[in-house]
Amino acid sequence: MYGTKQGAHHWYEELKRILLSFDFKVSVADEATFYKVDGNNFLVIATATDDFTIVTNSQSLSTKTKADLNQHFKLVDLGNINWLLGVSVTCNSEDKTISLGQQAYIKQILARFGLTDARPDITPMEPSADYHFDSPSISPTLLSPTEKTTYRKMIGSLMYCVMMTCPDIAYAVSMLSQFLEAPRTTHHAYESR
């Protein structure tokens, strides 16, 4: 599978064939997600190449599915999920809740861009700020090519946070991403605390 142009495609087709033979259906929203409903029980398998994440309300259905898959592939059961694509996952069976977090990823972003001492704020962006080019708070000086690249990397990192666990910063990231082509400095002086 690895190292060939068609390897991933062939793997997916084989996996799909096997899961369909176990009465799974392919999700319309995401073809890498398969699901099965058995009475009041359900099981969802989200795949990322050869990594599977199983979500179910039935331990017996999960055990049977793993046994069925083990007949075709050698599986390694990593136990209950606690980390997925840079997102921490905390399940509380008693409260019937699942919490997602990106604290480690966010700390990594702050360290990467030298912002570990930045002062936290409740509001991710000044509510009435005008960041358009003709605004008096924006400098006519364009960022250097290196600064422009850094700006784009910052926005990209924040977009991943918005999509995964931080919808509260969506407006700010969306507003700032409008200036990816020609970012400029502001006249505001901010200090780290």
Q: Which residue has the tokens 């199983």?
A: 54
pLDDT exceeds cutoff 70 at 192: no
Q: Mean pLDDT of all residues in the chain?
A: 85
| Residue 94, both tokens | 């008693």
Ranking 47-56, 96-105, 125-134, 162-171 by mean pLDDT, the lowest is 125-134
Asked whether the CA dihedral 83, 74, 63, 25 is positive or negative, the reply is positive
Distance CA 51, CA 54 (A): 10
Q: Does the pTM of the predicted model rise above 0.75?
A: no
| Residue 87, both tokens | 């997102």
H/E segment holding residue 66: helix 59-70
Mean pLDDT, rounded, for 73-102: 88
Cα 59 → chain centroid:
27
| Residue 186, both tokens | 């502001």
Mean pLDDT, rounded, for 135-155: 82
For residue 183, the tally of other CB atoms under 10 A from its CB is 19
> With bands split at pLDDT 50, 70 and 90, how would you rate the model's confidence at 191?
very low
pLDDT computed for residue 100 by the predictor:
92
pLDDT tens digits for range 25-47? 999 999 999 999 999 999 999 98
∠ CA 107-110-116, rounded to 5°: 90
pLDDT exceeds cutoff 80 at 145: yes
- The residue with greater pLDDT, 128 or 36, is 36
pLDDT exceeds cutoff 80 at 74: yes
DSSP lists the bridge partners of residue 43 as 36, 56
Ranking 3-17, 123-137, 141-155, 163-177 by mean pLDDT, the lowest is 123-137
Give the percent of the chain with pLDDT over 90: 44
Mean pLDDT, rounded, for 95-110: 92
Which residues belong to CATH 3.30.310 in the chain? Answer: 7-79
> With bands split at pLDDT 50, 70 and 90, how would you rate the model's confidence at 184?
low
Give the percent of the chain with pLDDT over 70: 92
Domain 7-79: give its CATH code.
3.30.310
**Which amino acid would we find at residue 161?**
C
